[in-house]
Amino acid sequence: MTNLLRSLLRFMGRTYLFLYATLCGQHPHERPWHFQWLSTRDLKRDLRGLLPGLEGCVLDLGCGSQPYRELLHRASAYVGADVEEREGLDAVLVPGKPLPFADASFDAIICTQVLEHVEDLSQVLAEMARVLRSGGVLVASVPFIFQIHGAPFDFRRFTEFGIAAALKEHRVEQMSRHGGAGSALAILGLNWIECSLTRGPVGWLFKALALPLWIPFCLVVNLLALAVDALDTTGAFAHNLLVVARRQ
């Protein structure tokens, strides 16, 4: 492949991503016709209800681009920490090493969609318990039904019983299931199509040409998934879990 062709493909890819984000939004503001809208819909709803009530010094562990910082209206201080250095980050973490904070430094910890990417889960949970004061609040979310992502740093999925057992230093106060059979199937199906079409230049070209059809197709699939969720009374097919726990 010539350098000119590579440059052209990169330009096409960037143009497509910009256009898609403009039309469909991007995290945490995806619109209902975004192919990942269902992945975050319930999580964002729950966090909008929970995070404004957090007070004191709050640690956002694995904060990424800090999409939830704007919700922490009552926090006296915010600390964003992640393993990849980026603009606005307060602390860079080293996997396998202790968190760079003193004992009982925080009144609350937010940890969303991070624990599945932690290789030594016991070590990270012990460190979170160490830096969270007694009585402090942990708000964490984890996937149950979702495809491999962030490879090769994708190590596990959680049932509600598994995450509750892992948080042995905490008292679980709330466990919320996100979605049902409809959402789980829709998320996997739409993500499969998306991943399949981004594996080469032909797929990218087809995806760009099919964008006027892809957007309404995603909207229809997402809405049908919600209808199926309403019929699913099993409670066994949540794609994601949100747990609120208090440090003992």
Beta-carbon contacts of 206 under 8 Å, excluding residues fewer than 6 positions away, are 197
Query: Residue 65, class by beta-carbon neighbours within 10 Å (0-12 exposed, 13-18 middle, 19+ buried)?
Result: middle
Residue-range domains of the chain with CATH:
3-247 (3.40.50.150)
Nearest Cα to Cα of residue 74 among 107, 41, 104, 29: 107
- Indicate whether 204 pLDDT > 90: no
Q: How far apart (Å, rounded) are the C-alpha atoms in residues 225 and 220? A: 9
- Indicate whether 7 pLDDT > 80: no
Which whole number is the average pLDDT over 16-33?
A: 94
- Indicate whether 8 pLDDT > 80: no
Contact 44, 203 (CB under 8 A): no
Residue 5: the pLDDT is 65
Residue 1: the pLDDT is 55
- pLDDT bracket for residue 198 (50, 70, 90): confident
Over the stretch 13-22, which tens digit does the pLDDT of each residue have?
788 889 999 9
Over the stretch 110-153, which tens digit does the pLDDT of each residue have?
999 999 999 999 999 999 999 999 999 999 999 999 999 999 99
- pLDDT bracket for residue 216 (50, 70, 90): very high
